[in-house]
Amino acid sequence: MEQYNMNLTLKVWKQKNSKSNGSFETYQVKDISSEMSFLEMFDVLNEQLIKAAKNPIAFDHDCREGICGMCSMYIDGRAHGPWTKNTVCQLHMRAFKDGDTIVVEPWRSAAFPVLRDLVVDRSAFDRIMQAGGFVSVNTGNAVEANTLPIDKNDADASFDAASCIGCGACVAACKNSSAMLFVSAKVSQLALLPQGQPERESRVLNMVAQMDKEGFGNCTNTYACEAECPKGISISNIARMNRDYLKAGLNSAE
């Protein structure tokens, strides 16, 4: 595709901290290359703001290669922007054309409070992981990897679930701010493997209990999460978690 430059109008959410009310601010950027990433375009804008002695826009980013799950922007009404199976850092400016107005908002969820501008606090995910996202292992030397036979299909399904980067796009895109896709991916990646069996039942009960405690909404099976997930995590994981939760719930002595 031919390289081209563009001038854009940006409407970006500005918010001082989690206590204050935010509002949109409008910025103009000039000569943006179609080969830049969306985050590089923000770097250009921030340089501009710093030179003008204004506060730069706070946004999360880390690896800039689509694997860390830090970048979290709701661009023109879509989590991670208009491309599917994509993160903001991998969204390139060729997705836009000269003269476009782009609206950028943070993830909006009671469980993800805005810390500043486009940065949200996703530590709710960490607390869900702490509630059950682990396995018991024997101490001593690491066991040779091939001593434990695992069905290839199960290993693949577990790997697919484990490719979740915990970015929170599922929560952001869901009309209910439900975290079911994230939690079900983390439950499934362990439930599918023999190493995950000892805590299989307590894990799903504890992780779902923590998820509810954090204030995420209830899943209504709209499947928006799967459509917006940058890693294409399947909703079959949600079905597996429902299954495991009901089984564990029926089995529990309480």
Partner 1 sequence: MTWKNLFTSSIGKKLLMSLTGLFLVIFLIIHVGVNACIFINDGGVTFNTAAHFMSHNWVIRIFEIGLFTGLILHIIQGLMIWKQNRAARPVKYTINAAAANSKWYSRSMGLLGTLLLFFLIIHISKFFVDTKIAMYTNGGANDATQNLFEEMKAEFQKWWVVVIYVIGVISLFWHLLHGFQSAFQTLGIRHKKYTPIIEIFGIGYSIIVCVLFVLMPISFYMGWIS
What is the closest distance, in whole angstroms, from the C-beta atom of residue 103 to partner 1 in the complex?
5
- 225, 185 in Cβ contact below 8 A? no
The label of the residue with tokens 């499947």 reads: 223
Q: DSSP states of 222-252 as a string?
A: --HHHHH-TT---THHHHHHHHHHHHHHHH-
> Closest CB to partner 1 among 55 and 218?
218
What is the closest distance, in whole angstroms, from the C-beta atom of residue 16 to partner 1 in the complex?
15
What is the closest distance, in whole angstroms, from the C-beta atom of residue 107 to partner 1 in the complex?
10
What is the closest distance, in whole angstroms, from the C-beta atom of residue 33 to partner 1 in the complex?
25
As a whole number of Å, the CA-based R_g of the chain is 21
| Token reading at 116 | 């500043």
Between the alpha carbon of residue 242 and those of residues 180, 245, 247, the distances in Å are 10, 5, 9
> Closest CB to partner 1 among 32 and 187?
187
> Closest CB to partner 1 among 30 and 97?
97
How many C-beta atoms surround the C-beta of residue 55 within 10 A?
A: 12
Strand, helix or coil for residue 48: helix
| Token reading at 200 | 């299989």
Query: Where does this chain bind partner 1 (CB under 8 A)?
Result: 24, 74, 76-78, 103, 105, 108-111, 173, 175-178, 180, 205, 208-209, 211-212, 215-224, 227-228, 235-236, 238-246, 248-250, 252, 254
> Closest CB to partner 1 among 5 and 20?
20
CA atoms of 243 and 246, how far apart (whole Å)? 5
What is the closest distance, in whole angstroms, from the C-beta atom of residue 247 to partner 1 in the complex?
8
> Closest CB to partner 1 among 55 and 84?
84
What is the closest distance, in whole angstroms, from the C-beta atom of residue 226 to partner 1 in the complex?
8
> Closest CB to partner 1 among 71 and 235?
235
CA atoms of 180 and 232, how far apart (whole Å)? 14
Between the alpha carbon of residue 192 and those of residues 54, 185, 219, 223, 244, the distances in Å are 51, 11, 22, 22, 11
